[in-house]
Structure 1
């Protein structure tokens, strides 16, 4: 592996501004902005739109699909038995 062709892998802070959440990890992502972390060191910070703290799936605020309405519409269109009703 050639060292001069690999990106710099270093500690980076990812910040979700909408949730007010940040975490420190290692990454090759780059940024001109920096932030002082809890350990007193300064790290590059990358702002993200969605993280596990704000994503509807992980927060439990995901929209539920209206399956009841779809089933009722299917039954109105094709009858109570659905597609298998006429094959008996």
Structure 2
């Protein structure tokens, strides 16, 4: 459960970085504070819990496909080298 909570924090700060801090065109620290507070007000008014759609079953399927792709690629490379 801790990983999910930490992921939420990382997502939030990623959004802050992209939507508030970048571009870095502040003239003083007060302007940074104002922009962060305005973002916080907007975010809190519209934020909703993140709905995870990628399940452990989806991860298992993805890893199995990657394994098959890797094996297929290794076999193709071996055939090409033998030719």
Query: TM-score with structure 2 length normalisation?
Result: 0.35
Structure that is richer in strand per residue: 1
Structure that is richer in helix per residue: 2
From the CA coordinates, give the structure whose radius of gyration is larger. 1
